[in-house]
Amino acid sequence: MSSTAPVTKGDPAKVALTSKQTCVDGLQILYRTSEEVVPEGRPTVILVHGLIVSSRYMVPTLKRMARHYRTYAPDLPGFGRSEKPPHTLDVAGLSNALSAWMDVVGLKRAVLVGNSMGCQIIANLAVRRPELVERAVLLGPTMDPQGRSVSRHIARFLRDMPREPLSLLGIELRDYLAAGTRRGWHTFRYALEDRVEENLPRLRAPALVVRGSRDPICPQRWAEEMVRLLPEGRLVILPGAAHAANFSAPAELVGVIREFLREGREA
């Protein structure tokens, strides 16, 4: 079953964000968060960025989520303003880094919200350390088995580019340059090699798959297949959104996430 998205209201410009650093396995890891006061008893939310980019493009969603939940958005090792490990981390390595960061920051359990390759990282983490993942939100998840090739995903990315805001392309270029060509290429190859479909049946936390209706990177067929593979999965479509709805349609995205989390509290 799929549904369309409600819109969450409020002025995100009034939410102040702070950038912090902490040492994780010898590397300085930057993360963004907010000092907004939220009601007790609500879950913590962690936003997980996608391929080669950083948490910078998560800021529109972070500001809106922070009005309702304690929310964090880390730059994974090698990306954004976090330090680079000596070798490129694969999906399992990035998942390990995320769980180690959670341990250092003191986050024992959270709702994980990922975009693109961030969904693969979350799926890996949820299988390896299920106690950390209260719920999972998988936005524009990659890599679908029928499109698992360099040429197909580059073609999909090129189709997505004109559907995204120009301001996003500037952020992505900056993050690509910061990561470097070699690290970016190896991370892409690791993402292609990751068999996320093998992790999905073992992901026991309730999961929400979210797809923008104009997302060429995550086909509708793949989003529906993911829901079938997940033990507790459902699908929501964001009308008119492309791949990075966390940047281009944050109000609509936060609306569906809040509805999903409210369902969990009422169950």
Q: What is the pLDDT of residues 209-235, one digit of tens each?
A: 999 999 999 999 999 999 999 999 999
Mean pLDDT (whole number) for 241-256: 97
- Count how many domains the chain has: 1
pLDDT at 84 over 70: yes
Per the structure, the complete domain to which residue 152 belongs is given by 2-266
CATH number at residue 26: 3.40.50.1820
pLDDT tens by residue, 92-139: 999 999 999 999 999 999 999 999 999 999 999 999 999 999 999 999
pLDDT at 12 over 70: no
Q: At 152, is the pLDDT very low, low, confident or very high (cuts 50, 70, 90)?
A: very high
Mean pLDDT (whole number) for 134-157: 94
Q: What percent of the chain has pLDDT over 70?
A: 94
Determine the pLDDT at residue 13.
60
Mean pLDDT (whole number) for 202-212: 97
Residue 206 sits at φ, ψ, to 5 deg, of: -55, 135
Lowest mean pLDDT among 33-42, 76-85, 124-133, 251-260: 33-42
Print burial letters for 51-69: b (CB count within 10 Å at least 16), e (below 16).
bbbbbbbbbbbbbbbbbbb
Q: At 239, is the pLDDT very low, low, confident or very high (cuts 50, 70, 90)?
A: very high
Query: Which tokens in the block code for residue 53?
Result: 């980019």
Determine the pLDDT at residue 266.
55
Q: What does pTM read for this prediction?
A: 0.93
pLDDT at 8 over 60: no
Judged by phi (left if over 0) then psi (alpha if -120 to 50, else beta), residue 85 lies in: beta
Query: Which tokens in the block code for residue 118?
Result: 């961030």
pLDDT at 148 over 80: yes
pLDDT at 5 over 90: no
CA distance 16 to 199: 36
Determine the pLDDT at residue 7.
44
